[in-house]
Each structure stands twice: as structure tokens, then as C-alpha cells.
Structure 1
Amino acid sequence: MKTKNILLVIVTVIACSCKKEDIKVKADGKIAGIGEFSNTPPKTFDPLLMAEKIDAYMNGKVAGYGYTIMHEGKPYFLNQGGGGWARHRVDAPNIARHNYQARQGIANAAKFVTALATITLLEKYGLSLNEKIYPYLPTNWKPSDEFKQLTFGRLLEHRTGLINYGRRLADYKKTVEGAVNTVIFEDGCRVYDDVNYGLAVVLLPYLRAKKGTVTEYNTLKALESQPLELEESLVYRLLGHIKMNVFKPAGFPYFNMMDYTPWSNSSYLTAYECNLGYSTIDGSTPGVIKDERMIAGARGLYISASEFTQLQYAATQYKIVSKEGYEAMRTQLLGFDGAVMGAHGRYTWKKGSGEKFETMIYDFGKTQVAVFANSMHSQISDDPSILSKAFDESWK
């Protein structure tokens, strides 16, 4: 019998050290949201106050930064939503300020997109996260017995024990066919590794082809004797799936241009035109950028903070995956790194760090936040409490 009282249950999630995390959810399985645990009169979240706190923390700490606070579907920021330089004077003549619209690499925060891309494909074909992954490999690969036990859910939760040999197709083949870390594999510990999401470049195109048309599947099989051509085709197919089934439903009119290499709304950009990552705060050394299409499942993506929060918001409105799919992402930390129990509920976060970029994204329930920096000199991607504290202190 239902009552008006909130019935709390405990959902056990194994964390990276096999430590258990208690996640409070409603009896119907919904994640507790804004204000669920408060017995005091309701307060109002002030996104501009949080913007002040983000600016106060980030300003002067990095070469450049941009951010957006998406609250109830509306973007908020102060001034230009950022500061510093997206392209420093050392990379003249094309220099640019960093702000909420400035695109940059976001490192492994792109795994959030990979999780969406995986779940939307599983849902399309009526499959669950318990679907085994081994049937969706090149036919000339010979997966180990341990690999044959892995599911899409375990892969997205980083509970595999797979060994990372590198980022190319030949490396993934070695991972699939080789031994695993038996402790992680048998205990189901959550241990973060790029290889788990990097395999999306193989699994998702093969899943789509095998469940799609015979012609598409035969096309892939015909390339299996030519590994380099197969690799190129798989990357192209993964990006095509992400563009059509993640970026397009998120409402981007230029979805077909969005990529894991520098791009504009109408063309691709060279290193002389795009925004860059820096090893110094003052930009005294030239910036760098990489084309990360080959590892699109694990990291990369060139995007602005404004665009990313639009993507996050679309996901929370179930425009990309179903309600059940997105709730699974938040409860099981698929495409997220961790969760914080804050004053207004459970907040989920994903960080990105590497290649001179650091990023942090948060889902606070009715509020989504993205903070992107193009040098690795702040703690924004290392300390989740910076943004969770800023959020909790922005209620009046």
C-alpha cells in the first residue's frame, strides 16, 4: 500500500576498490532529486550565484575556461561564461577568448556520449544492458572465455578486468583474445580504464550491422581481412551513429559536423584555426590539439560547454534514451565517474583530464553544469566537491 512518506531503499553499487556506496532512491526506483531530503521550507536555486562561484574559482588558474549552467532547460552564465584564452597570442594571428561558446577537446568526459550511444542502440533493438558483447566482434577474432561472459552493463560500469594494450584495432583484438585481470573480473570491482569504452568503436558498428541489414553486416565481414580498412570503416560508422542518434535528437542543427576533431558549423578546422590546449597558464608555449577520432569511444570530442549542457539536458528529458535508460546511467554510473550526496539529493559527475584539457560535468537533477578548461592547472576535474559545494551554496 502506498503512503505519502518517501520509502527509501538501499541500492548497492561496487566502487573502484570494491567499496560499497549507498544510493538512496525512491521505492519506485527513481533517483532522489532536488529537495527530496529537506525538511526545511523550500529554497530557490540561483544559477547566477553559482556562476559567480565558478568564475571566482576558475579565473586566473588556467589558460582559459568556459562554462554553462543549464537550469530547468535555460542556460545561465555571467559575462561571457568564461575567461582567459581559447587561443593564446603565442598562436597568433588567430587568437580567441575562451567562453561558454568556445569549443575545445574534453578528454574522457566524452564517455558520457559513448554511454548514451550504447544505450540508444540497445534500446533500438530491444536489448538490455545484460546483453553479452562477444557476438558483436569481427568474425575472425577469438574472444577468451572470460570475455564471453562480459555484458554491455559491465563494460559501461568499468567492471571487466580487461587489459589495455593500446588504442588501435589490433590492440583491441589483443584485449579481446587475451587474459584478464582475474581479481577485477571475478570480484566485479569498478576499475576505470579507457579500454572499456574504447571497444565501442568495434562493438557498436557490429551490433548495428548484425541487427540491421545483411548487406551492412557482409560489408564489414568483407573488410576483416584488411584491418586498416576495417578500422577506418568502424570509426566512420561509430561517428555516424553518434551524430544521428545522440547529437541530432539533442537538437543540434549542425549535428552532422560535430566531431572528435576540430570543427566549425560548416567545415573542419586545422590546428592554425581551432582552439588549443596549453601546458602553461600564460600561453608562453604554443598550444596543441589532436584528432581523436580513432579513440572516439573513450575520449576526445570537440565541443563547447554550452553545447554540452544542451546535450545533457536533452538526455534528462529522455530525447536520446528512454527514462529507464537515463536513470540506469545515473544509478549505475554509466558514462559517469561518481556520485555525491549533497544537500539537495544525489549528484552525478564525470571528469575529463588529459591532452592539456580538464573538464567536469555534473547532473544535479534539474540543473546540468559543464566547466571546460584548456590547461591542466586547476583542481576542477580532480575534486568533485568544488562544483557540488558551489551548487549547495547557491540556494536562497
Structure 2
Amino acid sequence: MRALHNIIRRIPGIGLLLLLGLVGTSCRKGEADRTPEPLTWFDYLGKALDDSLKTRNIGYGFVILEKGEVRASGSGGSKSRITEPEGEKPFTLNTKMHVASLSKTITAIAFLHLAAEKGLKTTDKIAPYLPPAWIKGENIDQITFRDLMTHRSGIIGLGNTCQNGAFAENNWGGLRQLVEKGVRSTNRGSYCYQNANFGLFRVLIPGILGYAFTGNDLTDDQQTQQHYLEYVQKTIFEPVGIRDVLANQPPVDPTYAYAYPLGGLSGWNPGNFTNTVGAYGWYLTPSEAGKLFATVLSTADQSVLTAAWKDTLLTNRLGSFAGTTSEGPISYHDGWWYLKLTQYQGIRAIWMKFPEEVTAVLFVNALHHSRGFFPSDDGTDIVQYLSRAYSLTRPLKTGRKSAGSLTLEHPEPH
């Protein structure tokens, strides 16, 4: 039991109360003097996360799956507080929240599914599928689908600073401007994280499907939005049993974004992303996100992606990132969306694929008020938080001591 104490103590935010709770749960006999079922390492990981998060007075939900089967889950806090027009409502595993850049993985999955249907390669050029009326600037004809999905297209934003753009560069007009601006040959192939790389797929996927662009911006904008939304719904969400997904809050039932610790500001409603969805914008529940990413990336199910395309996505880091823990390699994508007035308010989300087909999804609807990252007191962000909890509870299964180390190629929030 001393080894268990030492492991759990090193997970951020876990205190003596959790240690005593874990020990009591594992050692205490049940009703009628029955010996309870032995706890699995999934139980310990779930309890460690739950006990850490519930002390923060934030809304949260997480699901941990093994080969698509839920092994642990937890939720707590509020999706809206008593000060909001909707009143206080709990954050549950069925709470819809903006998943922000987790949408990039969804878009990458959608393109790969379509590529398999149409016989395309990730190294094919994007230019033939852009609207004919758009002026193609310098080197646009050299950009490939893979360039977009790995942020190596050469797109660095309208301001030429590589500062990531949101609305202005991801609606129809902004994407058209970026294509007309073109990219410098010196920037091609260099990593520059830009939402527009994935925002362009909202136009490209309909183009690949055969949409006949009219040349009328308003018509083409609305039609490509609809085609993209319908394609993702029918080919990505529905095959795994998820229906009626929107790029908008559920009507009259929003999930607000808050600051941590909670100050005097009311919550913030991220709102509707229908006209910019692609790099961000989808609303999912923790249960839905867990089901989606685990089914597509951690099971033998090939209704969305074949085994070869799954390997392509993960190996080439298409709409995903890679890291290494003490237990082996991981793949993930985190999401980050915020508003800053006097302090940060926002959401943080992540899917992470661990060794042996273990997938975890974690949503929180608050950001640290001054740092703008995951609501921790010690500066730990969501990628480090989740991977460390995994690495430090994993020895309960393997019996091997873990250092909880983590190396990330791109450690910045996305």
C-alpha cells in the first residue's frame, strides 16, 4: 500500500484525502462482509482524475476507454451557474461543449475517409478542388493535403506573423484572402500552426465531392458549409452511433466558459461556429468524443477508417500530435478556446491515445484566470496533467515503477 501512496501523491492536485479514499476503497469489505471486486488501474486513474477535478469548482467530464470499451468515467461541477439566465445546471458526461481544435482531428478523419472513396493521396495537390473564381496566389498550386494537415503549407496568416487566426481568417472571405495572398517558398514545409489549414477543408471536401461552385460568394459559402456538415455527420459521426451533431450550442441549453478561480465575471457562451467550422467548432459530449476517437483510432472497427488510413493519420500526425511517455508513445490533440477581458475565460479539451489501445477524453469549462491554460494551481497544462496521471497509475497494472516523464514535439496549447 505504501507504493500506491507514492504513485498517487505525484499526480497534480491529488492530496491526502484521495490517498485515504483509495486505500479505504481497496481494503474495506463491502456490505454483508463481502469482499469487493479488486480495483483495476482504470479505477485508480478515474478516481485520481475525479478527486483532483472536483475540488476546483469547475465543470468537467472525462471518459477512459480500452479498445472502445468504457473502463472509467467521471463528471462534476456546473455547465452553467446560478447567475446565468438558464440557472445552475450540472456538467455531465452528456453535456455538449465546444471541443475547439479537437475538430481538426475530425476534419482529418473526414478527409481520409473521402480520400479512400475517391482514390486520393495525402500528397495530392489541393488547387484543383478550390473554387475556380478564387485567385490562386504564389505557391498555392504546390500545397498538398498533407501540408495542410501537418501545418506545413506555408500559410502564416494575413499578418505574416504566424499568429493563429480565428474568425477573420476562417470564414469564406478570410480563406479566399489567404489563398489569393499565396505563400512564400521559404515558408513552405516549415511548421506554423494555423486554423486556416483545416478551415480550408470546409471548402475542399465539397469540391472533392463534386460541388459545382457558382462563383457567387454567398451561395458557395452557404452550400459548402452544408455539404461539409452533412458529409462529416453521415460518414464520421453516424457510423459510430453519434447523431445530430452541431457546430453550435444546443438551443437554450448552452455550456458556459468560466475563469478559474471563479471571479465576478458571468460565464461566456462561445456560440455558433457553423460558418467557420473545420479547424474548430464542433460541439460534442465527453461520451460522444470518447466513443468517436476510441472507435476510430483504438479499435479494429473500419467503418470510418481502414487500418491503413488509421496508421497514416497517427504515423504522419495528420490532425494529431505525438509524444513519448515513460510507458511508450502517445498520440493526441488538445483544444483551447478563450475570451480575455480582464481575465481568461474558456474551455480546454483533449483526446489522447495511450499504448495498448487506451483512449482518454477530458473536457473542462474553465481556464486559469491569468495563464489561460488548464485550471491548475501549479501551471500544469492539460496534456501534462492527463499523461502524468496515466503514467503514475499505470504501474498498478504493470508492476513497474514509472517516472511519469513526458516529451512533446509541440508542447504549446492548440
TM-score bracket for this pair, using the shorter chain length: 0.7 to 0.9
1:356-395 equivalences under 5 Å are: 356-365=346-355, 366-377=357-368, 379=374, 382-395=381-394
Q: Which amino acid aligns with 1:71?
A: E
Aligned pairs for 1:262-341 within 5 A = 262-263=249-250, 269-270=251-252, 273-282=253-262, 284-287=264-267, 288-316=269-297, 317=299, 318-336=302-320, 338-341=321-324
Partner residue, 2:337:
354
Q: How many angstroms apart in 1 are the aligned matches of 2:51 and 2:313?
A: 31
Cα distance change of structure 1 residues 99 and 284 upon mapping to structure 2, 3 Å threshold:
farther
3-state secondary structure, aligned to 2:239: coil
Give the drift of 1:77: 3.2
Deviation at 1:45, TM superposition (A): 6.7
- What's 1:37 paired with? none
State the alpha-carbon separation in 2 of the partners of residues 136 and 391 from structure 1. 42
Of 294-303 and 372-381, deviating more is: 372-381
Matching residue's letter, 2:255:
N
Change (3 A) 1:62 1:178: farther
Q: Whole-Å Cα distance in 1 between the matches of residues 192 and 56 of structure 2?
A: 30
- Do the aligned partners of 1:90 and 1:285 also contact (CA within 8 Å) in 2? no
Q: Deviations over 1:372-395 (max 9, x none)?
A: 011112537945222112112222
Distance 1:73 1:100 in 2: 16
Do structure 1's residue 221 and structure 2's residue 195 form an aligned pair?
Answer: no
3-state DSSP of counterpart to 1:354:
strand
Query: Counterparts of 1:277 and 1:243 in 2: how far apart (Å)?
Result: 26
Task: List alignment gaps of at least 5 residues for structure 1.
Answer: 1-43, 210-216, 264-268
Q: Could you tell me whether the CA contact under 8 Å between 2:139 and 2:184 is conserved in 1?
A: no
Q: CA deviation digits over 1:112-165, x for unaligned, max 9?
A: 101111111111101110111000011111212411111111110110111434
- Bigger relative contact order (CA 8 A; separation at least 6): 1
Matched positions, count: 327
**Partner deviation per Cα, 1:277-333 (whole Å, 9 max, x = no partner):** 223543743321310111111102111111101001221233311111111111111
Map 1:23-34 onto structure 2 (within 5 A): none
Report the CA distance shift for 1:57/1:331 in structure 2 as closer, same or farther (over 3 A). farther
Q: 1:170, 1:274 → 2: CA distance?
A: 28
- Structure 2's unaligned 5+ residue stretches are 1-38, 159-168, 339-345, 397-414
Distance 1:163 1:178 in 2: 10
CA deviations 1:334-388 (Å, max 9, x no partner) are 111x222123321011111113111121011411111101111253794522211
Structure 1 residue matching 2:275: 3-state secondary structure: helix
Question: Counterpart in 2 of 1:174?
Answer: 177
Distance 1:239 1:319 in 2: 18
- How far apart are the structure 1 equivalents of 2:43 and 2:94? 17
Within 5 Å, which residues of 2 pair with 1:1-396?
46-61=41-56, 63-77=58-72, 81-165=74-158, 166-185=169-188, 188-209=189-210, 217=211, 220-222=212-214, 224=215, 226-252=216-242, 255=243, 257-263=244-250, 269-270=251-252, 273-282=253-262, 284-287=264-267, 288-316=269-297, 317=299, 318-336=302-320, 338-355=321-338, 356-365=346-355, 366-377=357-368, 379=374, 382-395=381-394, 396=396
How far, CA to CA, are the matches of 1:131 and 1:145 in structure 2? 18
Distance in 2 (CA, whole Å) between partners of 1:156 and 1:231 is: 22
SS, match of residue 59 in structure 1:
helix
Q: In structure 2, do the counterparts of structure 1 residues 235 and 93 end up closer, same or farther at CA, with 3 Å as the change threshold?
A: closer
Q: 2:366 and 2:227 mapped to 1: Cα distance?
A: 31
User: Aligned residues: percent identity?
Assistant: 22
Structure 1: which amino acid aligns with 2:313?
M
**CA, structure 1 residues 111+281, in 2 after alignment: closer, same or farther (shift >3 Å)?**
same
Q: 1:72 offset after TM fit, Å?
A: 2.6
Q: Read off the aligned partner of 1:221 and give its amino acid letter.
A: F
